[in-house]
């Protein structure tokens, strides 16, 4: 994501000057910087999917290095010809963002499209197998056995064992043998414990659990072994009907384990131990499980005489609608800037879109330059194609997480609060300076701040992991805001603060839909009014 941007020179968009200076940054350099930063994380990820320096990690590293080299050329450190520049702008983003795009397609259930993209981008066996391994992992988490079988590489015994477990082919799980990484051996042992318990070979399962627990004393014992041992111990306790023992084994919940799986373990322990909470636990497992796995949990509910609940899939409609609105607003901005001459001010010329909607400080002569609605309307103006695409992408990625946890109105309120506070802190911190502030990232960071407030109150391992990820990501954004010219630090900080405040305020309000609908309705009215008033200034800037 790239943030709200500010321009000390009004005559040039965002104050960016020519290529190769430190006073500004072209949109190509901005894209390359994002590619380099993302490429570092993507390379570490791909090294876990494919061996050594095979095609998958090699292409990711080469793409990041290519982008870094051409970015250095932007500032005159090295020389790069036009061919290198085009390669960096086309191929580097393609191979750095490909794993993220493929994961997104798989999570959306578009496995055929993801498989086709893998064949187009990667040409060697190890390269394709690494990405297919990723797609298989997503399919297994979704409970989609058919998709997992279609995408699975030929030589993937651990994934094969997990597929057999998903299909409850327990005898076939026990047939799988593995010679490979130590962590994979631990995961296979966990699958075999589960198979032995399902086949009612409890003594053999107990022996394997004891072996896993003894390995925890090794100096090189890692988090994957700890998770495998905890889950295996909890499943053994559940098979014996010992609910309290299973609960103790799962506290705190192991990171990376989906909630429905934890509920199912506790539900089995309660059912075998004849505890009254069994029905409630199976209900929670059913509600949290992916659709392909729900029929199994429904059988337990019916056996206990419980009604199978209706589960409505909550889709992040407001997130997608907000991202689409930003894109449409950018298209309108291009139309306006292409048909109306720049607006003259005493200290330079402004593009028409900025003269009508940007948040302005120290720019005299602009109609309604200090109007209240500019604290919102600046979110609907962007500097270039990369700016809008990055903001729309991050809003989609983070917004859907928050909207699924909360509701549509909460998302829009967080966006509005982040945008307002981004403008307000910019006004306070940069009083007396010349600032032209545009971009939706104050609102996007408002959503991130609200999500952070939400997960901070959570007690699960997933909440703790998301807290760490959000904190690291926000720290990176703050660092880039300080290091990169013409990127608004205070617009970003204000966005996080505004969203964070909304997140905690929302937690203190009643949880019904009435509050959510009221917050969403008020947010829509505020944004529509701000954009309408901004558009009403267009006749006043016409030559």
pLDDT tens for the chain, residues 1 to 543: 444 545 433 433 333 222 232 334 566 777 788 888 888 888 888 888 888 788 999 999 999 999 998 888 877 777 878 888 888 888 998 999 888 888 888 887 889 999 999 999 999 988 999 999 999 999 999 899 999 999 999 888 999 999 999 999 999 999 998 876 677 788 999 999 999 999 999 999 999 999 998 988 876 777 888 889 999 999 999 999 999 999 998 887 787 788 889 999 999 999 998 888 999 999 999 988 888 999 999 999 999 989 888 877 677 889 999 999 999 999 999 999 889 888 888 878 888 998 898 888 888 888 888 899 999 999 999 988 888 888 898 898 888 888 888 888 889 999 999 999 999 999 888 888 888 889 898 999 999 888 888 887 766 666 677 777 777 777 777 776 776 667 778 888 889 899 988 888 887 777 667 888 888 899 999 999 999 999 998 988 887
Q: Supply the pLDDT for residue 4.
A: 53
- Helix or strand run (H / E) with residue 436: strand 435-437
- Helix or strand run (H / E) with residue 512: none
**If you write DSSP's letter for every residue of 128-181 in order, what string do you get?**
HHHHHHHHHHHHHHTT-HHHHHHH--SS-HHHHHHHHHHTT-HHHHHH----S-
Tokens of 24: 């500004």
Alpha-carbon gap, residue 440 to 386, rounded angstroms: 13
Alpha-carbon gap, residue 526 to 531, rounded angstroms: 9
Tokens of 111: 């496995």
- 360: three-class secondary structure by DSSP: strand
**pTM of the full structure:** 0.74
- C-alpha distances in angstroms, 98 versus 43, 106, 218, 285, 473? 12, 12, 38, 33, 20
Tokens of 291: 């659709």
Q: Supply the pLDDT for residue 26.
A: 64
- Rounded to a whole number of angstroms, the distance between the first and last alpha carbons of the chain is 36
Look-up of token digits 């929670």: 284
Look-up of token digits 């930063």: 37
Residues with Cβ within 8 Å of residue 89, at least 6 apart in sequence: 28, 31, 32, 70
Upper half-sphere CA count for residue 489 (Cβ side, 13 Å): 13
Alpha-carbon gap, residue 360 to 39, rounded angstroms: 35
Alpha-carbon gap, residue 136 to 147, rounded angstroms: 7
Q: Supply the pLDDT for residue 17.
A: 26
Q: Supply the pLDDT for residue 22.
A: 30
């Amino acid at each position: 994501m790239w943030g709200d941007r500010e321009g000390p020179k009004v005559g040039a968009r965002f104050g960016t000057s020519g290529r190769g200076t430190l006073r500004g940054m072209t949109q190509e350099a901005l894209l390359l910087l994002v590619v380099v930063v993302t490429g570092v994380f993507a390379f570490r990820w791909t090294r876990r999917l494919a061996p050594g320096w095979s095609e998958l990690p090699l292409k990711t590293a080469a793409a990041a290095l290519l982008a870094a080299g051409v970015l250095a050329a932007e500032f005159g450190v090295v020389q790069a010809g036009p061919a290198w520049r085009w390669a960096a702008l086309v191929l580097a983003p393609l191979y750095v963002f490909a794993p993220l795009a493929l994961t997104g397609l798989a999570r959306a259930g578009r496995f055929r499209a993801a498989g086709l993209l893998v064949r187009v981008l990667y040409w060697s066996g190890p390269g394709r197998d690494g990405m297919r391994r990723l797609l298989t992992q997503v399919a297994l988490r979704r409970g989609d056995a058919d998709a997992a079988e279609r995408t699975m590489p030929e030589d993937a015994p651990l994934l094969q064992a997990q597929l057999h477990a998903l299909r409850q082919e327990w005898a076939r799980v026990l047939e799988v043998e593995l010679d490979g990484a130590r962590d994979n051996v631990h995961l296979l042992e966990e699958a075999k414990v589960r198979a032995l318990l399902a086949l009612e070979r409890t003594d053999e399962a107990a022996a394997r659990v004891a072996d896993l627990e003894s390995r925890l004393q090794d100096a090189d014992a890692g988090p994957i072994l700890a998770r495998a041992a905890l889950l295996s111990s909890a499943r053994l306790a559940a098979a014996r009907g010992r609910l309290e023992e299973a609960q103790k084994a799962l506290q705190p919940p192991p990171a990376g384990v989906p909630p429905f799986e934890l509920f199912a373990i506790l539900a089995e322990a309660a059912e075998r131990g004849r505890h009254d909470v069994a029905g409630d636990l199976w209900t929670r497992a059913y509600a949290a499980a992916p659709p392909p796995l729900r029929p199994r949990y429904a059988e337990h509910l019916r056996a206990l005489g419980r009604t199978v609940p209706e589960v409505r899939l909550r889709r992040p409609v407001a997130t997608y609608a907000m991202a689409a609105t930003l894109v449409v607003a950018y298209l309108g901005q291009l139309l306006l800037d292409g048909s109306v001459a720049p607006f003259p001010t005493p200290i330079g010329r402004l593009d028409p879109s900025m003269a009508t909607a940007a948040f302005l400080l120290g720019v005299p002569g602009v109609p309604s330059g200090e109007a209240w609605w500019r604290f919102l309307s600046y979110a609907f103006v962007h500097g270039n194609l990369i700016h809008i695409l990055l903001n729309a992408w991050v809003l989609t990625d983070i917004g859907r997480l928050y909207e699924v946890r909360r509701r549509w109105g909460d998302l829009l309120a967080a966006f509005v609060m982040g945008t307002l506070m981004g403008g307000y802190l910019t006004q306070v911190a940069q009083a007396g300076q010349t600032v032209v502030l545009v971009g939706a990232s104050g609102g996007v960071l408002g959503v991130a701040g609200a999500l952070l407030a939400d997960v901070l109150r959570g007690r699960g391992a997933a909440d703790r992991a998301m807290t760490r990820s959000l904190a690291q990501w926000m720290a990176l954004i703050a660092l880039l805001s300080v290091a990169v010219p013409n990127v608004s630090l205070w617009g970003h900080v204000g966005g996080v603060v505004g969203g964070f405040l909304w997140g905690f305020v929302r937690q203190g309000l009643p949880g019904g839909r009435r509050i959510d609908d009221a917050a969403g309705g008020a947010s829509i009215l505020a944004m529509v009014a701000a954009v309408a008033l901004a558009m009403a200034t267009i006749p006043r800037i016409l030559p």
